Amino acid sequence: MLGTMTSENILKAIDLEIKKFEERANVLEEVALQGESSLSSKYEDMLKKKSRYSIYYLIATAVFLFFEILLLIVIRYKYGLGTLNYSILIVVTVILVFFLFMLTSSPKVEEDSIQEKIVFYRLIANKFYKRIKGGLEKGDEELIRAVADDILKDPLFSRALEHANVGDPKVVAYALYLYLHRDKVDNLEVQNTINLVRGPIRMLLESILGEDHENRGSVKGVSERIIEEA
């Protein structure tokens, strides 16, 4: 598939990317564990106190609501409030009850995006780079084709590539298809795509330009044919 030196350089670059994304995932997992421990210790006493007195808060809220409604009825009939003024009092009462409920409710911890990042980084390391590496080492281009196909079919995989700044998912998939059809594409198309990708994928395309192009004709409309054949 590739020259020995070129292949070694690309595989080394892929190994670096695998280690980088695995390390990122490992660090975030530690951060997530520390965060859970910190939040647990921070809110543990508070949650215990809230649960202990929750019944009293409910009773207080019910009593407050009862007297508010009773007060509204008395005010309306005693002072003859119009429909508009009465409606305003109802709205004010609802707002007061809402704020009371918020004050007595337990605090909620917002979900972080850390877990999502961990999933993305694991996907990049395992589903993207490791499979491409396996395809290059074994000379099995179907493994590389499967990666390109999955990028276009799997939304989560595509999001991972984009989020991790590996590249635009469609462009990355197209670059892999170009590599797989390197004996059918012309230099200009490869060169144009090189400017849109980075890292090991860029090196794959650069390896095409380093090969002998004597038998590689210029193919018009190669983009459409590559997608169809894929």
Q: What is the pLDDT of residues 101-151, one digit of tens each?
A: 665 554 443 445 889 999 999 999 999 999 999 999 999 999 999 999 999
Count of C-beta atoms within a 10 Å radius of residue 132: 25
Count of C-beta atoms within a 10 Å radius of residue 186: 14
C-beta of residue 118 within 8 angstroms of C-beta of residue 29: yes
The number of angstroms, rounded, from the C-alpha of 184 to the middle of its chain's C-alpha atoms is: 35
Contacts of 61 (CB under 8 A, 6+ apart): 97, 100, 101, 104
- pLDDT of 66 > 70? The answer is no
- Supply the pLDDT for residue 69: 66
For residue 88, the number of C-alpha atoms closer than 13 Å in the C-beta half-sphere is 5
C-beta of residue 72 within 8 angstroms of C-beta of residue 33: no
- Supply the pLDDT for residue 210: 78
Count of C-beta atoms within a 10 Å radius of residue 14: 23
- Supply the pLDDT for residue 222: 44
- Supply the pLDDT for residue 113: 84
pLDDT digits (tens, 9 = 90+) for 184-217: 898 899 999 999 999 999 999 999 987 544 344 4
- The CA distance from 68 to 55, in Å, is 20
- Supply the pLDDT for residue 65: 66
- The 8-class DSSP code of residue 82 comes to -
Higher-pLDDT residue of 46 and 117 is 117
**Strand, coil or helix: what is 1?**
coil
**Strand, coil or helix: what is 80?**
coil
Task: For residue 55, give both structure tokens.
Answer: 């019944």
- The CA distance from 3 to 66, in Å, is 83
Task: For residue 195, give both structure tokens.
Answer: 């400017």
C-beta of residue 2 within 8 angstroms of C-beta of residue 207: yes
- The CA distance from 198 to 14, in Å, is 12
- Supply the pLDDT for residue 31: 87
Annotated domain spans of the chain: 113-229
**Strand, coil or helix: what is 184?**
coil
Higher-pLDDT residue of 11 and 43 is 11
Residue carrying structure tokens 């060169």 = 191
- The CA distance from 116 to 168, in Å, is 19
- Supply the pLDDT for residue 213: 41
C-beta of residue 161 within 8 angstroms of C-beta of residue 124: yes
- The CA distance from 133 to 107, in Å, is 47
- pLDDT of 12 > 60? The answer is yes
- Supply the pLDDT for residue 54: 57
How many residues in the chain? 230
